């Protein structure tokens, strides 16, 4: 089957993505697995340390791509352009019931250019758009990881074309938009409600009980934001996905990311 990703995965890139994803999983889910005495700290104090670890790992993904010849100067330029587009469209939906058009840019960018490019695109776009919208805070590193995963897994979907691909991307975009909201709630929920409600996190409780409470918290508090995000992402994918995917793939084919650059000594012709 024809390779759909212009920037394929390579060994160093897989190692870098694994490392940054492992850090992200630990950052989101550690309260479920530690003793009650150790969960009193607030994520607001942990977030700067998480950011300090995360940023070099995101840079490491880019360096791994460059060192493995997966991403050259043209690929870095494409990453900058798509990040700028995502950054520019994010304020269009800021503060309006979860409507965030930037997610369709991340979805299509990750799909067209591959999972490593997608993770870098999601993380970088969330960082730059936070600077633009004054959205820098303890939640930012969690947003960067969650958005990176959103675009990365779009690049790992089955390689199909045509209407089936658009339908698959619509379904994934909707489900992943809901998952993004669930993850972002997890970044603060264990400390948000105390321990006196049915929706509260209970330190030391069985994993199944706290997972059920987390799910109930999401249903009760954030679906009003998550569902509009999911619907908008699916609708924009249906309307703009075919055109934008063709444009991205055409641009990247012309850029020839996978063509190695060789410098050759010019042939000197004898004087006539």
Q: What is the tens place of the pLDDT at every residue in 16-59?
A: 888 888 888 988 888 888 776 655 445 545 656 666 777 777 77
Q: Kindly state whether residue 62 falls inside one of the protein's structural domains.
A: yes
Per-residue pLDDT of 59-99, as tens digits, reads 777 666 665 655 667 777 888 899 999 999 888 865 566 67
pLDDT of 129 strictly over 80 = yes
Residue 271 domain-assigned? no
pLDDT confidence tier of residue 243, bands split at 50, 70 and 90: very high
Report how far residue 44's alpha carbon sits from residue 40's, in angstroms, rounded to the nearest whole number. Answer: 12
For residues 174 and 59, the model is more confident at 174
Residue 263 in any domain: the answer is no
Domain that holds residue 136: 11-255
| Burial per residue of 218-249, b for 16 or more beta-carbon CB atoms within 10 angstroms, e otherwise | beebbeebbbbbbebbbebbeeebeebbeebb
1 within some domain? no
Single pTM value for the model: 0.83
**Does residue 266 register a pLDDT over 60?**
no
Distance CA 161, CA 176 (A): 20
Q: Assess if residue 264 is contained within a domain.
A: no
Query: What mean pLDDT value characterizes the chain?
Result: 81
Asked if residue 203 belongs to a domain, the reply is: yes
Largest CA distance in the chain: 94
Q: Is residue 2 part of a domain?
A: no
Domains held by the chain: number? 1
Q: For residue 3, tell me if it sits in a domain.
A: no
Q: Report the CATH number at residue 58.
A: 1.10.1760.20
Q: What is the pLDDT of residue 98?
A: 67
Tokens representing 271 are 């004087």
Assign 230 a pLDDT band (cuts: 50, 70, 90).
very high
What is the distance, to the nearest Å, from the Cα of residue 251 to the centroid of all Cα atoms in its chain? 22
């Amino acid at each position: 089957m024809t390779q759909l990703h212009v920037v394929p995965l390579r060994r160093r890139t897989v190692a870098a993505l694994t490392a940054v994803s492992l850090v992200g999983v630990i950052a989101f889910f550690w309260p479920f697995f530690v003793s009650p005495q150790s969960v009193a700290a607030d994520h607001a104090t942990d977030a700067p340390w998480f950011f300090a670890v995360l940023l070099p790992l995101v840079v490491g993904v880019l360096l791994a791509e460059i060192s493995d010849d997966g991403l050259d100067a043209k690929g870095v330029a494409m990453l900058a352009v798509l990040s700028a587009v995502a950054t520019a469209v994010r304020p269009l939906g800021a503060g309006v019931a979860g409507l965030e058009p930037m997610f369709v840019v991340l979805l299509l960018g990750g799909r067209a250019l591959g999972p490593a490019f997608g993770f870098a695109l999601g993380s970088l776009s969330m960082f730059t758009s936070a600077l633009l919208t004054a959205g820098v805070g303890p939640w930012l590193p969690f947003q960067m990881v969650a958005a990176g995963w959103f675009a990365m897994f779009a690049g790992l979907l089955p390689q199909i074309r045509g209407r089936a691909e658009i339908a698959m991307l619509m379904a994934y975009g909707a489900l992943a938009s809901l998952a993004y909201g669930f993850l972002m709630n997890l970044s603060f929920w264990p400390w948000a409600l105390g321990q006196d409600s049915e929706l509260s996190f209970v330190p030391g409780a069985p994993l199944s009980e706290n997972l059920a409470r987390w799910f109930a918290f999401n249903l009760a508090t954030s679906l009003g934001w998550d569902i509009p995000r999911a619907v908008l992402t699916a609708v924009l994918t249906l309307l703009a996905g075919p055109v934008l995917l063709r444009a991205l793939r055409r641009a990247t084919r012309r850029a020839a990311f996978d063509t190695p650059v060789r410098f050759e000594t010019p042939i000197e012709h004898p004087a006539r």
